[in-house]
């Protein structure tokens, strides 16, 4: 099943959500279709035209937005008033602004974390979920990517470049060291550091090197480096929140995860599936983390179509 043809937004706008932040939002597809909101990764990533192509534009009302400080939202790379609870509140303001009763959540990596957090707070507003590259944001999950002994053992050359800017005395805790470096740097130095941060994530995101994926990380490197380090030194601002959540009963969904995912190892997908009784787990053999991987794309297309058919059978309102 191929991706749907490229699709231009029907409308694009900025939604003010507080005195400082304004979200970039776009809508595509059928204005009377079943609503789906797309949650990008990072935190600090951005929505992309590629993400519209998983949805039949005749069937779905496709909503994409850039989270606080990310992409085309304003102000860019801003850490002030930028936490997970802020993002959840933004989603609710957007849902109410668009006059939507219930919507499907489609998210990958950090976008999956955000979807789970939203669904745990507003289960009655969620019709279904399609989640990819599950990131539970536990300490062990962050340590896998940002401490020696995890992904560093699989991508040692890229890891060596990642820790090179860190003084040896701080290499036992690279994440906090990186947060300090990025916070103290400015101008060109900050951008150079952000590019190194992004290169490490790009190296872990695909099974085989991908220039296109690396270029995508490079374009948004500053916001991603600043916002990711800000979130992860604060444990994702998810204090005292059990992961995975226990409020998902009754919400149908599909979990798609690459067997060879180096960013988010596949045990996280199994843990979520075991705690979410109405989910189906699809572990894609030979695939990694990126949404650009062929096996991941095929599985997501299948999952979206499955949730669409289920909504039709159940008479889910649009």
> How is residue 100 written in tokens?
């939507």
- Give the whole-angstrom CA distance, residue 36 versus residue 150: 34
Write down the residue that tokens 């590629």 correspond to: 50
Which of helix, strand or coil describes residue 127?
A: strand
Closest CA to 224 of 76, 42, 82: 42
- Give the whole-angstrom CA distance, residue 113 versus residue 268: 11
- 263 φ/ψ angles, rounded to the nearest 5 degrees: -75, -45
Asked whether the beta carbons of 257 and 273 are under 8 A apart, the reply is no
Annotated catalytic residue 109: yes
Annotated catalytic residue 169: no
Annotated catalytic residue 257: no
Which of helix, strand or coil describes residue 257?
A: strand
Task: State yes or no: cis peptide before 16, omega within 30 of 0.
Answer: no
Q: Which residue among 205, 279, 289, 290 is the active-site one?
A: 289
**Alpha helices per DSSP H over 79-237:** 84-98, 110-121, 139-146, 156-163, 174-184, 187-205, 211-219, 221-232
Q: What residues have CB less than 8 Å from 66, skipping those under 6 apart?
A: 23, 24, 40, 46, 47, 72, 73
Asked whether the beta carbons of 259 and 283 are under 8 A apart, the reply is yes
Asked whether the beta carbons of 192 and 42 are under 8 A apart, the reply is no
- Give the whole-angstrom CA distance, residue 181 versus residue 185: 6
Q: Which residue among 261, 273, 279, 290 is the active-site one?
A: 261
Closest CA to 76 of 85, 68, 65: 68
Q: Which residue among 109, 127, 210, 229 is the active-site one?
A: 109
Q: Which residues are annotated as catalytic?
A: 109, 261, 289
């Amino acid at each position: 099943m191929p991706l749907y043809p490229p699709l231009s937004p029907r409308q694009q706008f900025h939604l003010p959500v507080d005195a400082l932040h304004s979200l970039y939002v776009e809508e595509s597809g059928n204005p009377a279709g079943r609503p789906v909101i797309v949650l990008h990764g990072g935190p600090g990533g951005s929505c992309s035209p590629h993400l519209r192509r998983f949805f039949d534009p005749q069937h779905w009302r496709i909503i994409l937005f850039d989270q606080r400080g990310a992409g085309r939202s304003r102000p860019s790379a801003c850490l002030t008033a930028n936490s997970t609870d802020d993002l959840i509140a933004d989603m609710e303001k957007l849902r109410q602004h668009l006059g939507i009763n219930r919507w499907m959540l489609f998210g990958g990596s950090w976008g999956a974390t955000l979807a789970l957090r939203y669904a745990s707070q507003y289960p009655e507003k969620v019709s279904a979920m399609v989640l990819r590259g599950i990131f539970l944001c536990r300490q062990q999950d962050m340590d896998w990517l940002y401490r020696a002994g995890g992904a560093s053992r699989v991508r040692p050359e890229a890891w060596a470049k990642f820790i090179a800017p860190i003084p040896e005395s701080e290499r036992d805790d690279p994440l906090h060291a990186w947060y300090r470096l990025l916070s103290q740097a400015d101008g060109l130095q900050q951008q150079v550091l952000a590019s190194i941060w992004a290169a490490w994530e790009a190296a872990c995101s695909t099974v085989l090197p991908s220039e296109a994926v690396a270029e995508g990380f490079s374009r948004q490197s500053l916001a991603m480096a600043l916002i990711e380090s800000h979130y992860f030194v604060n444990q994702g601002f998810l204090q005292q929140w059990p992961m995975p959540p226990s409020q998902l009963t009754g919400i149908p969904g599909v979990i798609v995860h690459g067997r060879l995912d180096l960013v988010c190892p596949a045990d996280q997908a199994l843990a979520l599936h075991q705690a979410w009784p109405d989910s189906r787990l699809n572990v894609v053999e030979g695939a990694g983390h990126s949404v650009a991987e062929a096996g991941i794309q095929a599985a997501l297309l299948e999952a979206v179509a499955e949730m669409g058919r289920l909504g039709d059978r159940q008479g889910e309102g649009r």
